[in-house]
Structure 1
Amino acid sequence: MVKLTRVLLVAGLLLGTVAQAAETATVFGAASLKNALDEAGKAFTAQSGIAIRASYAASSALARQIESGAPADLFASADLEWMDYLDRKKLIRPETRVNLLNNRLVVVAPKDARESEVPFTVEGFSKVLGADGRLATGEVNSVPVGKYAKAAFEKLGLWATIQPRLAQSDNVRAALALVSRGEAPLGVVYASDAKSDPGVKVVGVFPEDSHPPVVYPFAVTAEARGEGAARFLDFLKGPAGRAFFEAQGFSVIPAGR
């Protein structure tokens, strides 16, 4: 009987370990978060045994996928609007929502471009774009980076010049790739994206007051399974998670702000 009890105890412990290792949290993250969240996810899994599975796209696309029933446990948006959208539809747990990160909006060019700086003037952009060059960014009516870019160009009096020259992409990483491959002479992306791609260089940083602050809210979804998403979010809010974001060029918003 004693031996049987011990066998059952060991079997129970082993099953518990397997269950923990088998737990997975699915993260739907803005495309600009890919590098940081991938690295943070590896560290969290090594520490907790909970696997992190991530899907990256524009925040607009991810929010609509969640609305359509996609099995996401944690949503990380590149702007407040799409998190508000899910909140209004009761598709996130509002008590878990946190504004975690800031980013900067920048102009990038291919790394071998002659220009080291592009003035925020009609002449400055027209000179670099030439007769038929395009400026790559996200879709301006839905993708956060495109919305920020449109607001900034409007504020700076450049929208009428830039609008006809836009190459609008599904997400910020697609816009970044157009510039990195030399298919567009300029692009508007986030500072963290520029840092992630050695094929581009920053040739302009938008004034912070030219567009709404670039804020990344995170929240556990209403249909999240298990505790993995909440635990991963706690990890991201702590010192370990902060290091991964800062290494990729994000600014971490102090708690309580």
Structure 2
Amino acid sequence: MRFFFLFSLFACTVFALDIKMASSTVSNGKTALLEFKKEKNISYEDIALGNKRYKIFKNPLNDEMFYALIPIDYYEKPSDKKVEIYYKQGSEQKSKSLFFRVESANYEKETLSVDGSKVVLSKKDQQRASKEYVEAMDVYKKTTMQSYISSEFIIPLDSKITSDFGKARVYNGSLKSYHGGTDFRAGEGEPLVACNNGKVVLSKDRFYSGGTVVIDHGHGIYSCYFHMSELGVKEGVMVKKGETIGLSGSTGRVTGPHLHFGIRVAAQQVDPLQFVELMNKNIVKGIK
């Protein structure tokens, strides 16, 4: 009997999934991260949160680990969430549930005065803005299975933050949107650098974001740099972390020169500073 008990305990230990969540609570607009330890005879596939699926990727810097990112929608209300993890044990399809809590970030409001033509749009500008939105979302929805990340993320400009992610934005007295990135103080023409290695997938002037560069880092992660006065890279080129990609400016819908820095995960806007801290602490930990 004792032998049978010990064998049963051993068998349960062998086939138990080693899963760690960076935090059991995540605020709206931020990113949740799950880590999975490499296990013999286990093949990780993806995870489900509601009707959305997110891929489980091999950690690009640790052959013994896998990870998944879950972007929490800005408009998500406080609630308990269940994540279903799908994997194969040999040829057998299995799943495991994990729970976490979404809490409110309690974002503030800010009032901005901008050129009226950027708030009440002409038909021509509406068509342009709509076309550019579709174009950008087509980019963000693509997932490059290769990761270009080889070290920790950095912030593209060493400067004071002038507007945090998530603030509800009132333009000329009318609530229009929320702030989908973090703004950094910058004069006209200051060099901006890539936050990590990647491929430039968008480099052009856009109606709202002005001079824009978007970098694909792989695994559904994109970094965004808006309002540039000069674009320093072309679409399709590979860039290294810390490489200058353009100059700061005041193009697009702005009140003055600055850098808007954003991150997209699985096409969703997330708090870029929380994302950088999360990745550096969990995925690229110990890498120098």
> TM-score, normalization: structure 2?
0.29
Structure (1 or 2) with the greater strand fraction: 2
Bigger relative contact order (CA 8 A; separation at least 6): 1
TM-score (norm 1): 0.31
Structure with a larger share of its residues in helix? 1
